[in-house]
Amino acid sequence: MGYEKLKTVLDTKCHLATQAEARKHWEEFDEIAHCYMLASMTNTMHKQLKSCKTTKEILDKLEDMFGGQATLARQSAITSLMNIQQKPDTPAKDHIITFMGYFVEVTNNEANLDPNTQIEMVFKSLSKDFVGFWAVYILGNKNLMLTQLMKELQSYELMLSIGQPIRRVEANISRHLFLKKENKEC
């Protein structure tokens, strides 16, 4: 019975004075809801809201007090997500796992990012080593989920790491040949 009265108060507007009986019922229900709401609050909150005449006023003030905090939390989560960049020597897997944590935080704060936006954000945060992978991904019109992307990036990262020793050897040979050539000229 109490739930029905609360629902009536919250779902309907107060009727005009010409509908005296309906207005009387609405006011009774509103008073009951008003008392329940005030009784369930902390003393500090009760003091701030006891001057409200209707439950609608209480709800409006609560929205004013706490609605902005949700927006701030959502903005903070999105800002954190937009500012993350892959640090040198951080494996792609670790970077994407960090990203996934931020995506969960953003979702918990009621901001929805579609999978394509998430993938694009990940690509923009990766180091320059992954530019080739990103180009192939775009040209190939691939459509991967984050976990699939993480596996693909790990494979690409492995190919890059295998190629690094070869490049170092090539660089050392070039430097050695250059130094040897300089010594002969002297």
Over its length of 186 residues, how does the chain's per-residue pLDDT go in tens digits?
466 666 666 666 665 555 677 778 788 888 888 888 889 988 888 888 889 888 888 888 888 787 777 778 888 888 888 889 998 888 989 998 988 888 888 888 777 888 888 888 999 999 988 888 888 888 887 788 888 888 988 888 888 877 665 445 445 555 555 555 566 555
Residues 29 and 136: their CA atoms lie apart, in Å, by 64
Is pTM beyond 0.75? Reply is: no
Hunting for tokens 């250059």 — which residue is that?
Answer: 178
- State which amino acid sits at residue 32: I
Q: Taking the alpha carbons of 83, 86, 87, 90 in that order, is the dihedral positive or negative?
A: positive
Q: Taking the alpha carbons of 67, 69, 71, 74 in that order, is the dihedral positive or negative?
A: negative
Q: Are 161 and 127 in contact (CB under 8 A)?
A: no
Residues 56 and 39: their CA atoms lie apart, in Å, by 16
Residue 116 contacts by C-beta under 8 Å, 6 or more apart in sequence? Answer: 143
DSSP three-state, residue 128: helix
Q: Are 106 and 74 in contact (CB under 8 A)?
A: yes
